Amino acid sequence: MIQASLNGPFTKDDHSAVPVSPAELAADARACAAAGARAFHVHPRAASGVETLAYGVVDDVVRAVKASQPHPVGVGSGAWIEGDVARRLEFASQWTQPDFVSVNLAEEGAVPLIHRLAERGIAVEAGVWTVADAEFLVSGELPPGLVRLLIEPVELDVTLAVGIVAEIHRLLDRGGVEVPRLQHGDGEATWVLLEDAARRGIDTRIGFEDTFHLPDGSLAESNAALVRAAAEIMGDR
């Protein structure tokens, strides 16, 4: 499965094709679904253009993207969007539209947020950034409602990326963690980790949140172009 991460924290100042409004996100998702994406990760924006977890905005954006194509749509919950743990929980308590939410295990309040989402019947993608995150998962009872683990070391030197994810997978395997895994990278490690995911036969993610560039280094004109490139790699394995 290829998940398309359509915008992340980026704006049109970073790339003119980054979708920001609900209508742009919906149109982009439709194009990416046609290119092979089967799930979507979006970062809703307030009218000012700032990322937000406010329930009205989140639900409106997710509703628009879901209406444009038939596949699940989720959102991020990063602490950089809303740093106050109590407010993050308050917003999550009011969401009705996301099919899943990504929760970064390394961030303060991750476990309470996962429990709150489970109470709401919203599936969770647990972001595993580091070996320490993997150790946390195998050290005790898994949080409820996990639909998948995101193996996603961030801002990683490309020469270290494959070795670090290999250690994360070894820990999870040794600990008997059987939650499905999705692996992706960002920046210069994007395509290396996507190719590694293809070799492992696990899900992956691609989109402007992770990179603006195609495997050959050229600038991608759209998220759909990135998805097509990823689909070629995944299909070759």
Task: Return all residues near 178 (Cβ < 8 A) that are at least 6 apart.
Answer: none
Report the alpha-carbon distance of residue 222 to residue 236 in Å, rounded: 22
Torsion of CA 137, 140, 143, 146, to 10 degrees: 40
Both tokens assigned to 228: 């097509």
Percent of the chain with pLDDT over 90: 91
Please determine, for residue 180, whether its predicted confidence score (pLDDT) is greater than 70: yes
Residue 157 pLDDT? 82
Please determine, for residue 140, whether its predicted confidence score (pLDDT) is greater than 90: no
Closest CA to 205 of 191, 222, 226, 184: 184
Query: What's the predicted TM-score (pTM) here?
Result: 0.95
| 92-132 pLDDT per residue, tens | 999 999 999 999 999 999 999 999 999 999 999 999 999 99
The count of other CB atoms within 10 Å of the CB of residue 30 is: 16
Indicate the class that CATH gives domain 2-236.
alpha beta
**Domain spans of the chain?**
2-236
Report the alpha-carbon distance of residue 13 to residue 209 in Å, rounded: 14
| 78-98 pLDDT per residue, tens | 999 998 999 999 999 999 999
The count of other CB atoms within 10 Å of the CB of residue 140 is: 8
Please determine, for residue 14, whether its predicted confidence score (pLDDT) is greater than 90: yes
Are the CB atoms for 148 and 203 separated by under 8 Å? yes
Q: Which residue has the tokens 């947020």?
A: 113
